[in-house]
Chains A and B, each alone.
Chain A
Amino acid sequence: MSAMSIGARPIEILLVEDTIDEAELTIETLREGRVRNRVHWVEDGEEALAFLRRQGRHAAAPRPDLILLDLHLPRMGGQEVLAEIKEHPQWKRIPVVIMTSSADEKDILTAYDHHANCYVTKPMNLEKFMAAVRSIEDFWLTIVHLPAA
């Protein structure tokens, strides 16, 4: 299911990010991209799993086509969320892009061991941050063939 074949519907993206400014900048940058997408923003790991399970206020949540996951999150950390997703028979094929300020080698290796699909560090500089988000949009929404459910 490539962006082109999705056709009538937007690409559903689950953004798991606890920093409001970074979430807003990510959503805004994705909105300016070429491929129609809808970002569903949750602020911590437990809420991300509630979204995937369609629990509580997420009862009508779509299955995300792509997940953008921060690592340092309140309540349940990103590595734990990643491990849950990649061990779940129905969720494991959903691509998970790690988007984090950490360039710590241990974080990178642990994420790959948990089968993160890729690992992008968030630059502090505003322009570079937007360029990193655009690189994700340019690759994952236009080039990659996203898996069907």
Chain B
Amino acid sequence: MIEVRDLSKRFGSTLAVDHLSFSVGPGIVTGFLGPNGSGKSTTMRMILGLDHPSKGGTTVNGRPYGEIHRPLHEVGALLDAKAMHGGRSAYNHLLCVAQSNAIPRRRVGECLDLVGLDTVGRKRARTYSLGMGQRLGIATALLGDPQVLMFDEPINGLDPEGILWIRTLLRSLAAQGRTVFVSSHLMSEMALTADHLVVIGRGRLIADSSTADLIASSSQGYVHVRTPDVEGLATRLRSAGAIVDTDADTMRVTGLECAAIGELAALDHIALHELTPRSASLEEAFMELTKDSVDYRTDATVAIAS
């Protein structure tokens, strides 16, 4: 169980995390979603006691992280794949971490097996690819067999097989009753992995609900219509309560189903050349949710024109 209460973090004039409150429960995968720079990593660092909150606080299993002795038995975390000394072998890296928390040496080999690094465990971590580094980071998180796991962008740098492996691992850890908290900036990935989503933007909470509810509530479908009489049909549909965006010979209609649009067009004898239902993608739902909270946005058309 992870609790975040009224958490704020200020770096100079930037409020990186802004009065954030949520909790992460056991038995499910909870996704922590937000654009790059939205405060996900900073929040995770504060949960682990690496950064000090400007205001508010966090607890893991009811206690601030800094008060837990030998915390690896309770909490495992992957913050970034490079949180290790490149000159040390994977085995020795895991060994020194294990020793600090009185975790038996046998467990080091088990964790290397678990993440598929058993054959390269004696090689120096510097020689690892980003994906192997991620696996070693995950092995580090699993060392103490903790009930609470936190992973910051675990699929970064992984190939498709690795992504599938992570997804299965996260789900099986949750199925064992553990608390699994995973950050990502990829909505599509989280939709496949997470049962519950905490969405933030510019450090503020945007949504905290089950994945299914979030997708249903924010992915508004629309109907793509092509007609020679855009003006006439648009007037007709608007009077029926639809929201219509028109273009030269097409329009985008929200608030009316295909059947209703077709019938209204028939009443006015307006020809339809195309009538297609479209559902918004998960990415669009995410963009919709976070559009006001993206720090560095590029206007695609402007970027191309200039």
| Binding partners A and B | no
* Interface residues of A, Cβ cutoff 8 Å to B: none
